[in-house]
Amino acid sequence: KQEVTQIPAALSVPEGENLVLNCSFTDSAIYNLQWFRQDPGKGLTSLLLIQSSQREQTSGRLNASLDKSSGRSTLYIAASQPGDSATYLCAVKSGGATNKLIFGTGTLLAVQP
Amino acid sequence: EPEVTQTPSHQVTQMGQEVILRCVPISNHLYFYWYRQILGQKVEFLVSFYNNEISEKSEIFDDQFSVERPDGSNFTLKIRSTKLEDSAMYFCASRSYTDTQYFGPGTRLTVL
């Protein structure tokens, strides 16, 4: 059974710092991995999706990498801003016929001005 | 930019009552999903829907739950007899033939 965990659970950094969020999954047979942002009491905003055949994806100040064999993904945020403060979730879609996303526990990020 | 919308944003109901949560997926999307997030816990998959039928459901999605696409735009989740443990944020999501799932803002369901 696929399990997804995220470390750290919470992170506080000063504005301008570069940071890395970690996501690990127990079954490496994934189809893709998606990173989301969730603001308090709000929905999930898709940030990046990496297919299993890809090593990384970039969007603006965000860069997500995937190492399928070791069951890890990282989300790198460059030059963090207070507006980046949110919970960041990773979710995997396993291989095979499944459609569902299996979510991690999330990392609560606070960027201090 | 097209968005998934959900109504109501907050629903309060008494235990044992039926509730219907509504979603309008992005218009050209073909795959539809419901997830829920109990306060402080992970987002959990409930059900996926494609071509007017359920394509996959979790063990949470028992006989008390049902989904429907009554017309070309709405996608609903019905809970027949709500329980206290159904209190959660319910998210609708949709996607096209690409893999990215787009989520709505959620409906907060409170069962008293």
Neighbours of A108 (CB within 10 A): 16
Look at residue A102 in the predicted model and tell me its pLDDT.
96
Residue pLDDT, tens place only, A52-85: 999 999 999 999 999 999 999 999 999 999 999 9
The answer to whether the CB atoms of B48 and A34 lie below 8 A apart is: no
Are the C-beta atoms of B58 and B3 separated by less than 8 Å?
A: no
Collapsing DSSP to helix, strand or coil, A84 comes out as helix
pLDDT digits (tens, 9 = 90+) for B31-90: 999 999 999 899 999 999 998 999 999 999 999 999 999 887 899 999 999 999 999 999
B49 touches chain A (CB under 8 A): no
| pLDDT the model gives residue B107 | 97
- Find all residues with CB under 8 Å of A47, minimum gap 6, and list them: A34, A35, A36, A37, A59, A62, A64, A75, A88
Is 90 exceeded by the pLDDT of residue A96? no
Smallest Cβ–Cβ distance between B45 and the set A51, A97, A100 belongs to: A100
Q: List the single residue in B43, B58, B105 with the smallest CB-CB distance to A42.
A: B105
Q: Is the pLDDT of residue A36 over 90?
A: yes
- For chain B, give percent helix, strand, coil, nearest 5: 5, 50, 45
Between the alpha carbon of residue A56 and those of residues A26, A59, A99, B12, B81, the distances in Å are 19, 10, 22, 43, 45
B1 has a pLDDT exceeding 80: no
CB contact under 8 A, B103 and A46: yes
Among the residue ranges A26-35, A90-99, B15-24, B51-60, the one predicted with the least confidence is A90-99
B58 and A CB contact within 8 Å:
yes
